[in-house]
Amino acid sequence: MASQGQPRSIARLLAPLALIACALAVVVVIGGSLAGDDSTGGSSSTASDSTESQGTTATTPQRPRQPANYTIQSGDTLGAIAEETGVPVDTLLELNPEIDPQALIAGQKIKLR
């Protein structure tokens, strides 16, 4: 009977350790996926930092010039266009009162400024 008690005690020790390892793996995977979303925003700030060190002065920050128009692509939404161009949805609607946000037409040009 002594030989049967020892495997049980090992299993009782390994089961909680396996549970902790699985929980830790889930946290790492979720943390990694959230960090991936943040890296998109970080890369744009890195690009702006490198342009600032190339001779622009602190008193005259220069932003990249945004195009005046955007051509709607198939599957575009106003939210996606706003995110891509940096122009808020409300501004897009004010500048383009003729567009229907629920029925955007591919090839149609909308004003961004």
Task: Find the CATH number of the domain harbouring 104.
Answer: 3.10.350.10
- The three-state secondary structure class of 109 is strand
User: Full-prediction pTM beyond 0.95?
Assistant: no
When comparing pLDDT for 103 and 5, which is higher?
A: 103
Cα 66 off chain centre by: 21
Q: Is residue 74 domain-shared with residue 45, that is, in the same domain?
A: no
Which residue range is the domain that position 20 belongs to? 1-60
Virtual CA dihedral for 21, 27, 28, 30, nearest 10 degrees?
140
pLDDT tens sequence across 4-58: 556 677 878 788 888 888 888 888 887 777 665 444 444 444 444 444 445 555 5
Q: CA–CA separation, 5 vs 2, rounded Å?
A: 5
Q: Is residue 22 domain-shared with residue 50, that is, in the same domain?
A: yes
The secondary element (H helix, E strand) that includes residue 17 is helix 2-52
When comparing pLDDT for 60 and 47, which is higher?
A: 60
Q: CA–CA separation, 34 vs 61, rounded Å?
A: 30
HSE-up of residue 81 (Cα within 13 Å, Cβ side): 24
Q: How many domains does the chain have?
A: 2
Q: Are 108 and 74 in contact (CB under 8 A)?
A: no
Q: Is residue 2 domain-shared with residue 56, that is, in the same domain?
A: yes
Write down the pLDDT at residue 23.
Answer: 83
Q: Are 97 and 108 in contact (CB under 8 A)?
A: no
Percent over 70 (pLDDT), the chain: 65
Write down the pLDDT at residue 77.
Answer: 92
The neighbouring-strand residues paired with 111 are 69
